[in-house]
Amino acid sequence: MSVKDASQGPLISAKGLRKEYGAFTAVDGIDFHVNKGESFGFLGPNGAGKSTTMRIIAATLTRTAGEITVLGKDPEKSGPEIRAHLGVVPQQDNLDNSLTVEDNLYVYGRYFGLSKKYIRTKIEELLTFAQLEEKRGVKVEALSGGMKRRLTIARALVSEPEILMLDEPTTGLDPQARHILWDRLFRLKEQGVTLLITTHYMDEAEQLCDRLIVMDKGKIMAEDSPAGLIKKYSTKEVLEVRFGSDRNAQYSDQLRAMCERIEVLPDRVLMYSDDCEELLHQVVLAGLAPTTSLVRRSSLEDVFLRLTGRTLVE
Amino acid sequence: MATKEFTRKGSLQIVDVPKVLRNGSFYIAQARIANMLQWKWSIIGEAIANPMFYLLSVGIGIGKFVNSHQAKGIDGVKYLVFLAPALLASACIIGASNAVMHPTLEGFKWNKNFFAMNSTPISARQIANGVLLSAVARALFGTIIYYLALLLFGGVNGLHSLWLLPATIFSAAAFAAMMLGFCAAIENSDLLMNIVNRLLIMPLFLFSGTFYSLSTMPKFLQFIGWLSPLWHATEIGRWISYGHHISALGISIHFAYMSIMLVSGLLFSHHHFKRRLSK
């Protein structure tokens, strides 16, 4: 019996999923499903329960309560059968530092029972994909952070997984390395690979996810596409104004009266409106002269702020 | 920009899960052995130097002294012949135990690659079995070299002495299985090293009848030897090598003891590997 054919409904489906560590509840009864070919995200700050959820899906952590099926099977009962079809990119790279780039891919492929001949051919594709052709004979310890990350992703692809799971794929990478990585992930998405991504970067979630859940303290706060979430929980635009740290709060009542909603942060005030150029005009007319002002489109950061009263990256 | 693209079939087509369920332990052992081969020259050097040092110093040096005071030798044979099975067993047991300790600390703690292995169809149990298998393979290599050195120095002789190899490897596997469990159970690596080196390896080596017969020790110290797989292995080794007298019941007890150690060590390891990988 092989795992369920992916065309018959969601690849992953969870109901009332819960994980407790003693008195601490890491995942607090969440429901979600992931469809084939979808790029699905878990967005939330550190400690929101994203990685815990990922490990339960990846059949390497037991749940305390609730139901979950991955590829039609229960991860607690069919761990190896499920893991055979997952590509896992953990938050911290766990490559074998003493082996070369090429050998890391080879050894990992063997763990899936793949033939030597198949892996040797696949390695060529993966090295190209990860832009590591010239590093093939280099030991992993000599690679940069971005290269290690790409190698970890390439390693996860050696078995051509149905679902690629990426836990904070670009944390700790410089902007250029992040963009290279996003580009690689786009290509996979185009090939129909189902992506499961956790991130606390709203730009990453917006770039990569078709649909996402916003998590905080183990609970799901909202679920939709990035655009859908922004539409539902924020205005089209945001005006950011700074008056100096002691005056931001002082003007808040006046500013609140001018628009739908404001958020007073320690260093700036966010004003929500569908036409922020007009709003800025009003602010100036009212005789409040901000030291700096910026009009931008609403983002998932604003959604998170609205839902939890906190910023994502603190 | 390179445009080579994936020709994707998908894991449902290419991954043979029953095959991994059958062979996973061997895949892990293969990977471990490939890793060891990076240090093949130091492994070979150590395998040769270790018996040479012992045989030259203890076997010949102390042997000369002992033989000159004991006209009939010890246990009816020359000191080197008496000592040889014990040296072989201790080298093999310590070798196998070191070969499980390092990769286990590395796999759980230093570079966490057990977690990488466990994100494939490979199970916690297979990782434990694979590490043990590779350690036994390495110990077998060291033991063969040691055996050849003993042949060269006259510590063993005759075709029948080849039986020392499987008997010794069996005892090393039993002890290494237990060590594997310890390494997985104790998460503080400094504490682990201290316990192993001070409380296990040293007394094991000194109180297992290695250098003199256990029966010459006071009774209250003899129990350390009874617990020690090294003593059981040494007794069997002496029986194989020069016909040291043991009753049939005695032999059965020695083998039973090591079999129990092997099985319980494996169960203990499986439990703690599973626990740590699913925390």
Average pLDDT (A270-292) is 92
- In this prediction, what percent of chain B has a pLDDT beyond 70? 97
C-alpha–C-alpha distance, residues A56 and B23, integer Å: 25
Q: Where are the beta strands (DSSP E) in A124-162?
A: none
Are B20 and A86 inside 8 Å of each other by CB?
no
Are B111 and A97 inside 8 Å of each other by CB?
yes
Three-state SS for B60? helix
- Asked which of A4-8, B234-238, B248-252 is least confident by mean pLDDT, the reply is A4-8
* CATH, range A12-225: 3.40.50.300
Are A114 and B31 inside 8 Å of each other by CB?
no
Q: Which of B12, B19, B37, B112 to mutate to test the interface with A (most CBs of A within 10 A)?
A: B12
**Chain A residues inside the 8 Å CB shell of B278:** 60-62
Amino acid at residue number A214: V
Distances (CA, A) of A135 to A102, A127, A132, A141, A144: 8, 9, 5, 12, 11
Question: Within an 8 Å CB–CB cutoff, is residue B119 touching chain A?
Answer: yes
Among A113, A131, A155, select the one facing B23 at the smallest CB separation.
A113
pLDDT digits (tens, 9 = 90+) for B172-219: 999 999 999 999 998 887 777 777 777 777 777 777 878 778 777 787
Q: What confidence score (pLDDT) does residue A266 get? A: 84
Average pLDDT (A49-67) is 95
Residue bearing tokens 């390395």: A177
pLDDT digits (tens, 9 = 90+) for B109-168: 888 899 999 999 999 999 999 999 999 999 999 999 999 999 998 889 889 999 999 999
What tokens does A148 get? 């290690």
What tokens does A288 get? 């409040």
Residue bearing tokens 């693209």: B5
Tell me the DSSP string of B82-118.
HHHHHHHHHHHHHHHHHHHHHHHHIIIIIS-HHHHHT
Among A84, A129, A155, select the one facing B11 at the smallest CB separation.
A84
**Chain B residues inside the 8 Å CB shell of A60:** 115, 118-119, 277-278
Cross-strand bridge partners of residue A196: A40, A165
| Helix (H) / strand (E) containing B68 | helix B63-69
C-alpha–C-alpha distance, residues B192 and B104, integer Å: 11
Contact A240, A47 (CB under 8 A): no
For residue B39, give the chain A residue with the closest CA: A98
Average pLDDT (A49-65) is 95
Which residues lie below 8 Å from residue A124, measured CB to CB, with a gap of 6+?
B4
Among B27, B112, B115, select the one facing A111 at the smallest CB separation.
B27
**What are the extents of the domains in chain A?**
12-225, 235-297
What ipTM does this complex have?
A: 0.86
pLDDT digits (tens, 9 = 90+) for A20-55: 999 999 999 999 999 999 999 999 888 899 999 999
Question: How far is A115 from chain B, CA to nearest CA, in Å?
Answer: 10
Among positive and negative, which fits the CA dihedral A101, A104, A110, A114? negative
Tell me the DSSP string of A293-310.
EEEEE--HHHHHHHHHSS
Fold observed for domain A235-297: Alpha-Beta Plaits (3.30.70)
What tokens does B204 get? 């094991």
What tokens does B75 get? 């246990």
Distances (CA, A) of B44 to B49, B81, B134: 9, 25, 16
